[in-house]
Structures are given as C-alpha cells and as structure tokens.
C-alpha cells in the first residue's frame, strides 16, 4: 500500500531529460512494498554489471506526473510516477534505470559542482569588465560585454551537461548488454521522448541543439542503436514474470496517483484482469467508496488467496474503513509471508494499536521494532512505535521515537528537544541512550547552522 514522505533533493541533479528541467527542491516519495521489490529485482543485474552493489543502490519512486528520472547524489535513482505511467513495459524502465546508473558510475553529480566553476568565472569576469566599461562612459558596450559573457558561461555549462548525458547513455547501453538485458526498451523510451518533443514543437529543425542540456532524443537513438542491436540480448524476449509484476504495479500506481475518474475509464468494470481490479480498488478507496473498494480487493484475494500484496491492500482498506480487528488476519499473514517486510509490518503494527486492546501491545512492539530495525527511514513507523511506548508509559522511549521521526522529517528543533528528554530517562551508555546522543549532536549542529543563517 502506497505511503508518502517528503524528500529534499539537491539541485545538482542529472536526469533522463525531456526539457532542461531540474527536480523540485522538495518531492513526495511514494513507498510501497511491492513496487520497491519489483524495482530491486528488475535493476539488480544492471547494477551488478555496473560494478556496484545492489545493497547500496536504491530505486525510489517520486510522485510527479512529469516523464522524468534523475540522480541527485549518492547511489539513488529517482523515477517519477509519470514515467511509470508512460512506460509500455518493464524493459523500458530498465533502460531508464541503466542510463541513471550511468550517471552514478560516472560521478556526474559531484562533477557538476566543479563544472560550474568555469562558467561562473566567465560570468563574473564579464560582470567586472562590463562594470569597467560602464564606468568609462560606455553603457552600451558594458551591456554587450555582460550579455556575451553570460551567453558564453551558459554555453560552457550546457556543453558539459550534454557530454555527461551522452556518457550516461553509452554507459547504460554497456550495462544492459553486460547484464543480458535487451536494449530495445531503452531505445523505445527515447523514441517516446522524441514523440513528445515533436508534439511540443521541440525538434532539431526549430531549436538550437547547442543550447540544450541533453542531446536531442532522435540523435540519442541513432547513436545507441548499433551498440544495443549488436548485443546477444537484443532479441531476448521480455521477462514474462517481470512484465506481469510491472503491469500490477503500474495499475495500482495509476489508481493511487491519477484522477479516479480517469482510472475507471482506463480500467472499466468489463476488464476483469488482476491489474484492473488493483487499479479500481485504489481508485474507489481514495474516492471514498469503501464497499466498491472492498469488492475489488475481494476479487484479488479470491484469485490469489495468499498473495501478500493483495492481503496488505485488503487489511489497509479494512483498517482505514474503521475495522482494525478485521484487518489483523490479512495483515498478519502478509507480514509473516514476506518475512516481516518493513512497510507491511508497519501497517500491521498500526492495526494492532488501532484495536485499542492492550493485549495486542506485545505483538505490536515486536512487529514495529522489527520494522524500524530493517528500515529506519520510515517516519510513520517511528510514529507508531512512539504511540506504542506512550501507551505503555515508557516516556524515554516515546521521546526517542519522536526524536527519530523528527530527525527524518527535518524538524531539527523537535529532534533536539526529544533527544534530550530521551537521554535524561534512558540508562546512560545503553544502545538507546547512545542513539539519542547521536540525534542530539546532529540536531544541535543543524539548529546552530539555521540560527547562523538567520543572523546573516
């Protein structure tokens, strides 16, 4: 079941690119157990072929309708929901992931800071010379110098960006070939971008290719075709299991982020496929039609009674419809059958607490502690764990859970205050006390930096 959290992305980012746009400074991350497992499985071979560890590279879904993907430092690939919606198959998404991994391996985000030094120097020099010309009584010459300098600086940076994109394309093609993954998807997706460029009147006939952050999509297709088609993997059929799973994830994502009316048109009641039931279940649930949502979910569970993701959805709908007790059985099975997958376990822990039955507290504590141990980057899990400790009267650990959640959401002041409260009540030197101290130190530094920034 999808959940959201905010993500702050550095502006030093390289993307797949349709137009010269950067990711927003703050994005909503969509987290879903089934989706994250699919991304992990479909990218693993590519990541290994790139010489990286699949344990260190994450593919993250962003709630953004723009057809784009990007990297923003570290070993994280960000895919917009609009890209998943637009893709025809999993292989196209694999092509996009391979391109973005090319940016990671090439170290392009860190290099962008160095590349800015040259254009910045040109820009500053033009401003200085322009100011000197203006002081000498030649305002027109001054303006010309400044404009020429700005143009030269921009051109230098754009050339760097295009070179990095071409490098990521070539690396991505190499990773696909090495991994034994067909490059047809990569080319097909670039053709999609080319069609969009043409739709917006954005083609090599009416734009200056030297003033773009990315090579034109048609040029990218032409450059990559020979290398990709020469690979033994070129004619390899699509992986039927990945494609089946992709259609499910794509349908549930559409049901979650798209307008419900549009979802019901795309997946009419006459469509009795599992993806269609998935999409309609989300659309009805988010539209406030619990009976229809329950009926669609029941059809899913009837078709695959032990599918953990169908059971997760069934439990979530029951929980959010005011029946936490009814949600326990499907969520417990989903949690156990996925070996306590953290996102599913968090929902189960939430349901146990929502029953308001103290007999469920021990199981809730076990489930939630496992959830944060395996995935400590989930503010909602820490909120639920804090609620549990508050119910138990354990104020120091309530404060620690609050500090963890505040630290993840960027609330440094709350994290600082909560960490202090936790340290005051926890045994000095214990694991929890040391963790609270770590949060305190990090938060204290963040608060001080924020204070200095406001005084400037």
Average pLDDT on 58-66 reads 95
Q: Between the ranges 13-17, 165-169, 189-193, 375-379, where is the mean pLDDT highest?
A: 375-379
Give 183-209 pLDDT, tens digit per residue: 999 999 888 877 776 665 555 555 545
Beta partners for 27?
Answer: 7
How many angstroms separate the most distant Cα atoms in the chain? 85
Percent of the chain scoring above 70 in pLDDT: 76
Ramachandran angles phi, psi of 403, nearest 5°:
-65, -40
Least confident of 229-233, 293-297, 364-368: 229-233
Kindly indicate the confidence band of residue 164, based on its pLDDT and cuts at 50, 70 and 90.
confident
Average pLDDT on 380-387 reads 97
Task: Give the number of C-alpha atoms closer than 13 A to the C-alpha of residue 271, restricted to the C-beta side.
Answer: 16
Report the candidate in 356, 373, 381, 453 with the shortest Cα–Cα distance to residue 31.
381
Question: Rounded to whole angstroms, how far apart are CA atoms 310 and 114?
Answer: 48
Give 245-267 pLDDT, tens digit per residue: 999 999 999 999 999 999 999 99
- CB environment 129-156: b (16+ within 10 A), e (fewer): bbeebbeeeeeeebeebbeebbebbeeb
Position 1 scores a pLDDT of 67
Output 448 or 1, whichever has higher pLDDT.
Answer: 448
Taking 80 as the threshold, does the pLDDT of residue 73 lie above it?
Answer: no
Average pLDDT on 72-86 reads 92
Question: Rounded to whole angstroms, how far apart are CA atoms 83 and 311?
Answer: 27
Least confident of 8-17, 29-38, 248-257: 8-17
On the 0-12 / 13-18 / 19+ scale of CB atoms within 10 A, 329 is: middle
Least confident of 37-46, 71-80, 285-294, 430-439: 71-80
Position 236 scores a pLDDT of 93
Question: Rounded to whole angstroms, how far apart are CA atoms 193 and 67?
Answer: 9
Distances in whole angstroms, Cα of residue 233 to Cα of each of 38, 86, 91, 166, 187: 21, 24, 12, 22, 14
- Residue 137 is classified by DSSP as T
Question: Rounded to whole angstroms, how far apart are CA atoms 219 and 215?
Answer: 7
Strand positions, DSSP E, 105-199: none
Average pLDDT on 288-299 reads 95
Taking 80 as the threshold, does the pLDDT of residue 24 lie above it?
Answer: no
Taking 70 as the threshold, does the pLDDT of residue 169 lie above it?
Answer: yes
Kindly indicate the confidence band of residue 137, based on its pLDDT and cuts at 50, 70 and 90.
low
Position 433 scores a pLDDT of 97
- Residue 410 is classified by DSSP as T
Position 235 scores a pLDDT of 92
Question: Rounded to whole angstroms, how far apart are CA atoms 116 and 269?
Answer: 54
Q: Would you tell me how many other CB atoms lie within 10 Å of the CB of residue 316?
A: 26
Position 72 scores a pLDDT of 84
Distances in whole angstroms, Cα of residue 84 to Cα of each of 62, 64, 251, 414: 10, 10, 10, 36
Taking 90 as the threshold, does the pLDDT of residue 292 lie above it?
Answer: yes
Position 139 scores a pLDDT of 55
Average pLDDT on 142-158 reads 45
**Mean pLDDT taken over the chain:** 84
Position 220 scores a pLDDT of 83
Instruction: Kindly state the helix (H) or strand (E) to which residue 60 belongs, with its residue range.
Output: strand 58-62
- Order the strands of the 76-80 sheet from edge to edge: 3-8, 26-31, 58-62, 76-80, 69-71, 14-15
Distances in whole angstroms, Cα of residue 225 to Cα of each of 41, 98, 220: 26, 15, 8
Question: Rounded to whole angstroms, how far apart are CA atoms 300 and 164?
Answer: 45
Percent of the chain scoring above 90 in pLDDT: 68
* Contact predicate 118/132, CB 8 Å: no
SS (H, E, C) 354-385: HCCCHHHHHHHHHHHHHHHHHCCCCHHHHHHH
* Contact predicate 260/287, CB 8 Å: yes
pTM reported for the whole predicted model: 0.82
Position 210 scores a pLDDT of 43
Cα 63 to the center of its chain, rounded Å: 8
Residues 6+ positions from 407 with CB-CB distance below 8 Å: 415, 439, 442, 443
Give 96-121 pLDDT, tens digit per residue: 999 999 999 988 665 454 444 444 43
Least confident of 51-65, 186-200, 322-336: 186-200
Question: Rounded to whole angstroms, how far apart are CA atoms 332 and 393?
Answer: 26
Question: Rounded to whole angstroms, how far apart are CA atoms 386 and 423?
Answer: 15
Kindly indicate the confidence band of residue 287, based on its pLDDT and cuts at 50, 70 and 90.
very high
Least confident of 218-232, 234-248, 284-298: 218-232
Question: Rounded to whole angstroms, how far apart are CA atoms 71 and 23?
Answer: 9
Question: Rounded to whole angstroms, how far apart are CA atoms 115 and 213?
Answer: 13
């Amino acid at each position: 079941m999808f959940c959201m959290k905010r993500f702050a992305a550095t502006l030093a980012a390289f993307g797949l690119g349709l137009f010269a746009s950067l990711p927003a400074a703050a994005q909503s991350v969509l987290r879903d157990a089934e989706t994250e497992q699919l991304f992990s499985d479909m990218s693993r071979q590519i990541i290994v072929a790139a010489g990286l560890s699949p344990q260190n590279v994450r593919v993250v879904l962003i709630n953004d309708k723009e057809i784009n993907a990007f990297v923003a430092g570290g070993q994280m690939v960000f895919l917009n929901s609009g890209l998943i919606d637009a893709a025809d198959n999993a292989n196209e998404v694999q092509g996009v992931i391979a391109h973005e991994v090319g940016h990671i391996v090439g170290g392009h985000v860190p290099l962008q800071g160095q590349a800015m030094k040259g254009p910045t120097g040109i820009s500053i020099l033009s401003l200085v010379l322009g100011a000197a010309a203006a002081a000498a009584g030649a305002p027109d010459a001054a303006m010309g110098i400044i404009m020429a300098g700005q143009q030269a600086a921009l051109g230098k940076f754009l050339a760097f960006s295009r070179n990095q994109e071409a490098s990521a394309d070539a690396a991505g093609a190499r990773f696909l070939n090495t991994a034994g993954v067909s490059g047809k998807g990569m080319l097909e997706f670039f053709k999609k971008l080319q069609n969009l460029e043409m739709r917006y009147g954005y083609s090599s006939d009416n734009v200056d290719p030297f003033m773009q952050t990315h090579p034109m999509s048609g040029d990218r297709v032409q450059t990559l075709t020979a290398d990709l088609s020469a690979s033994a993997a070129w004619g390899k059929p699509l992986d039927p299991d990945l494609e089946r799973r992709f259609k499910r994830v794509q349908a549930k994502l559409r049901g979650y982020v798209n307008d419900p009316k549009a979802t019901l048109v795309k997946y009419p009641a006459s469509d009795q496929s599992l993806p269609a039931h998935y999409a309609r279940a989300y659309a009805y649930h988010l539209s406030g039609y619990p009976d229809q949502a329950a009926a669609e979910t029941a059809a899913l569970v009837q078709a695959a009674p032990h599918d953990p993701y169908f059971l997760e959805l069934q439990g979530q709908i029951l929980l959010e419809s005011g029946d936490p007790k009814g949600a326990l059985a499907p969520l417990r099975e989903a949690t156990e059958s996925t070996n306590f997958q953290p996102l599913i376990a968090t929902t189960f822990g939430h349901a146990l607490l929502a029953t308001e039955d103290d007999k469920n507290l021990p199981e809730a504590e076990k489930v939630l502690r496992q959830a944060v141990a395996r995935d400590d980057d989930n503010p909602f899990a820490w909120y639920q764990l804090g609620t549990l400790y508050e119910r138990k009267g354990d104020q120091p650990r309530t404060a620690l859970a609050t500090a963890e959640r505040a630290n993840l959401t960027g609330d440094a002041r709350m994290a600082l205050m909560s960490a202090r409260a936790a340290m005051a009540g926890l045994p000095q030197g214990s694991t929890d006390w040391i963790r609270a101290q770590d949060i305190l130190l990090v938060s204290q530094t963040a608060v001080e930096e924020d204070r200095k920034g406001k005084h400037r």
